Structure formats: C-alpha cells, structure tokens
Chain A
Amino acid sequence: MDKITDEVLLDYIDGSLIQSEAIRIKAAINSNPQLRARLEELRLPDRHLAGSLESPSASFTDTVWSKLSQSKGNVPKFSLNSFLIVFAAMITVVLGSYFMTDSIIDLDLSLKVPNTVTEYVEVPQVEIPQGISLKTVSQILLYSLSFLLLLILDKAILKPYFKKRRELLT
C-alpha cells in the first residue's frame, strides 16, 4: 500500500481524489489515529479560512470614489489633439519664416557707385568686404528658434505632464 502523504491528505480534503482512492484514504484514517490527527491539522486552515472574508470600512467605496475624483482633477488636461495643434503652429511659424527670409533677406551690401558719378569724381579704390550673407544669419536664428521651441515644449509642458502622471501611477 502506498504511503499516505500530506499531499494526498490535502487532495482528500479538497475532494479531488478518485472515488476508489478516497475510500482507501478514509479507511486508513479511521484505522490510524496519527493519520487522523494530521488530517485534522491540515483541515484547520480550511475550517477557518475557506470563504472567510474580511470586510473593509463602511466608507470604502466613497473613499475610493473621492480619491479617483481628486486624481482626475490632478491630471493635466492636455489632449493629444491640442498638443498636435500647438506643435503644428510652431512648425508653421518656423517654416514660414524660413521661406520668407529666403526671398526677402537676400541683400547685397557691396558698395555700388553709379557710372555718372565716376565720370566726374575720382572714386578712391577702396577694398570693400563682400556682402554679409544675411540668409545664413537668418537660418542660424531660425534653427536657434526651433531649438528654443522644443526646449520650451519639453520644460513647460511635457516634463510637468509626465512627472504628474508618474506620481499618480506610483
């Protein structure tokens, strides 16, 4: 006959043994006081824990509900759509400015003296530096502006938003 282990006794308590095995265990328990004592020991938690539930405070549901309302109020209301609109506006300003400066600020600062003047006046030969490329300057400024916009976006909106979300989730 197989040794009756705690595992078998637990299966017997749970009623998960096949009928013939359950009959064998029952007979063994009836004839063996030690086995019966062990069965009682293993049954003790079942007697007191099975289906035994603890009740929370009476205000539990209301407390959860008020906590939920509070947390909803704390989450910054910044939808994805509004975020995209703001971002698109920023991009438009940057791109618009870029193309406008391309056509407008294309100045040539090289000194040009009219021919009529040179006929009567002797113009000294002075080395004048080449025209300053304002286009390059404006492009540098626009790149700086774009970088600044991203920095503002990160510092003023994204960082505080995700920080609050992280705080709420932990």
Chain B
Amino acid sequence: MSHINDDIIIDRILDGDESQYKILIDKYKVYAFTLAMNVLGNREDAEEVAQDSFIKAFKNLKKFNREAKFSTWFYRIVTNTAITRTRKSRIVGEDIDAAYAVGITAKSELEIEDQKTFIRKGIALLSDQDKLMISLFYLKELSLDEIAQVTELKTNLIKVKLHRARKRLADHLKTILKEEALNL
C-alpha cells in the first residue's frame, strides 16, 4: 500500500508539486537516519548523510524507474552516501570506530545498564559491509531480495553474509559485556 502511495507522491512531484517531497522526507527520515547512524556511528555525520541522501534522491527522481520500491532505491542512495563518507573520513585520518567507541565508553560509564549502548559499541567494531547488513536487516523494512537490491549483491549471498554479520556482532557483544562485567 505504501508502495502505491509513494508512486502517487512521486508522480505529483514530477508534475511540479515539489512540496509533496516533504511527505516522503517525513516518511523515510527515521529509517535513513538509523541506517546512516549504524554505518557512521555518530549523530552529526548521520544527520548530514541522511539529508544529502534526500537531496540526491530528489535531484534524481526522474531517473527512478519504478522497477523497485522507492524505499529500496532510496536506501541504496543512503548506504552509498554513508559508505562514501566513511571512506572520506578514513582518508583524512579520522578513525570513526575509535572515535565512536570513545564516545560510547564515556556514555557507558553513566548508563552502564543500558544494553543498547553495548549494541552500538558492538556495531562500531564491525566492517562497513557487516554494519550495512545489520542495519538493513534490523530496519525490518526490507525482504532479503530487497536487501540484495540495495547492496547490489546476489540474493543467495545475502543470507550467508547476514548470518556472518549477526554472529560477529553477537561475539563482539559477548566480549564487550565480559569486559564490562570485569570492570564493575
């Protein structure tokens, strides 16, 4: 149903009613931000990447061929933009994971009970591709086929890669929780 609504909104935008794009922004901003946040690990970069993704999507809306859902096409833009940002950050010598881990450690001292903090710390330790897999999977918005379209990987590879990413995350969490328990 939402797929049909998106198509109607896109038609209106392409017909000249550009203000309709605000509906799409409001609908997908949380997903875009969550996706970017999981890949980048900090709010400022994630917000900027999500905003840039909406701008890119708007400018390329005419090229959206409707074969896939708008959300699938849009999440591909978000993931590409986020991954490009992490690469650029690495080139200028910023270690996103380390920076994020430091922030999380400081936070965890204050909110040690919050397991969500450990999850974020665990995600920060994953590779870019694992972060992406985990983020797309846990949005609970996309099927495996759609995740394959977003990541441009073969569908039969997605399940394998997703299992590996989830196992790695679980193992990282196990280590982090053990360390935290020892520090108590």
Contact = CB atoms under 8 A, between A and B. Distances in A.
Interface of A: 6-7, 10, 41-42, 44-57, 60-61, 63-65, 67-68, 71, 168-169
Interface string B26-69: 10011111100100000100110011001110110000000000
A45 B50 contact: no
| Interface SS of B by simple majority | helix
Given A41-B174, A44-B170, A67-B51, A55 B30 contact: yes
Contacts of A168: 59
The 10 closest A-B pairs by CB, nearest first: A56-B33, A49-B138, A54-B34, A48-B119, A54-B37, A64-B54, A41-B170, A42-B170, A61-B25, A53-B34
A62 to B, nearest CB: 9
B87 interface: no
Interface residues of B, number: 37
Interface string B97-134: 00000000000000000011001001000000000001
A44 B173 contact: yes
B154 interface: no
Contacts of B29: 56, 60-61, 64
A97 B54 CA distance: 51
B56 to A, nearest CB: 7
A46 B116 CA distance: 11
Contacts of B32: 56
Contacts, number: 90
A42 B59 contact: no
A65 B22 contact: yes
A51 B138 contact: yes
B76 interface: no
A56 B173 contact: no
Interface centre among A42, A50, A56, A168 (most CB of B within 10 A): A56
A6 B122 CA distance: 18
A68 B167 CA distance: 41
B103 to A, nearest CB: 15
Given A10-B166, A45-B169, A57 B25 contact: no
Contacts of A55: 30, 33
A63 B51 CA distance: 8
Contacts of A54: 30, 33-34, 37, 43, 46
Nearest to B122: A45
B163 interface: yes
B51 A53 contact: no
B166 A45 contact: yes
Nearest to A46: B138
Given A45-B119, A49-B134, A60 B167 contact: no
